Amino acid sequence: MPEQSIRHTMGRGRLFDSILDTVGDTPVIRINNLAPRGVRLYVKAEFFNPAASVKDRLALNIIEAAERDGTLQPGQTVVEATSGNTGIGLAMVCAQKGYPLVVTMAESFSVERRRLMRMLGAKVVLTPRALKGTGMYMKAVELADAHGWFLARQFETAANADIHEATTAREIIGDFAGDRLDYVVTGYGTGGTVTGLSRVLRRERPETKIILSEPTNAALVSSGVAQERGPDGAPAASHPAFEPHPIQGWTPDFIPFVLQEALDNGGYDELIPVSGADGIAWAKELASREGILTGISGGASLAVAMRIAERAAEGSVILAMLPDTGERYLTTLLFEGINEDMNEEERALSLSTPGYQMG
């Protein structure tokens, strides 16, 4: 075995003016132990963003685009409907820039997300589980209209896909410069990632196949049923193909307007549904076999990437998007069966030596 030297680091070569300057430039990491032989499988780890998810990108650009065009005034309250990650990203941005933030969120989403947003200074207004994503969306609209607040509109605003075109896609182009990239796998929450990626990859890497995914039991795009919309592109009703699913952050109960561009313009090559159970299983595999902690959505992306890897030609290169960190799912099915107390094997290890034992 060759002798290895201690690892060294040299700093980033710059000093950051604020936490917001650390958004983006997330690493692409090779999967070594899980990938089938003959292919190279990578993940883009979006939990390296400062508030630990891909939504930091759009949160920052929504606020800065509104500052540029004057639709957000100094000190004005920002309001948005979110399953959690966009709200956390917005809370980080608003805390740094000095805007009050109110988030509306269905009570079905994990409680750690509520606590994180409140820790970052936001107010969180819960909506009934039965009203799904549409209910929390309509509550945000109602609050914005009643109080004159700035509605972030993550599901409709051009600022969403634009930031993925300008950052996420450019990072992938740069990281795979001079190398092959056969497949990129992503789900959709707002649709910003796939729409922004497709704008750039279709033009600069046309050989790269874009694989889109959605939950098996909430296959809105696969259904072929068009989304009912209002005049501003906002959802006018819950989509009939929606059922509740455990892949938080993916696929609300409507097809977002931001995603519609990719659907209309051929922004993906194949649509592969994935079950929540597979997402959970592969997130656990990724953690225990690769040391990479991601959420159920990241596990779902990896599940689809593994299916592609099994059928791909030898030498293929596959990239899967990991939207967030597994720590955002501590109270969900992802951590079911992972106990706080010692199990029998751990208790036996404790008893194998005489000292320092728990009573």
Phi, psi of 258 (to 5 degrees): -60, -35
Contacts of 47 (CB under 8 A, 6+ apart): 26, 53, 293, 294, 322, 324, 325
Task: State the pairing for strand pair 270-274/40-45.
Answer: unpaired
CB 248 within 8 A of CB 254: no
CB 186 within 8 A of CB 43: no
Asked if 18 is an active-site residue, the reply is no
Helices (H), 293-336: 296-311
Query: Strands across the sheet with 28-31, in order?
Result: 28-31, 40-45, 317-322, 183-186, 209-215, 270-274
Considering the candidates 53, 83, 213, 297, report the single residue annotated as catalytic. Answer: 297
Strands (E), 160-299: 183-186, 209-215, 270-274
b/e sequence 302-324, b meaning 16+ C-beta within 10 Å: bbbbbbbbeebeeebbbbbbbbb
Considering the candidates 44, 53, 55, 301, report the single residue annotated as catalytic. Answer: 55
Cα 108 from Cα 130, distance rounded (Å): 9
CB 248 within 8 A of CB 332: yes
Cα 191 from Cα 239, distance rounded (Å): 16
CB 179 within 8 A of CB 153: no
Asked if 110 is an active-site residue, the reply is no
List the catalytic residues: 55, 297
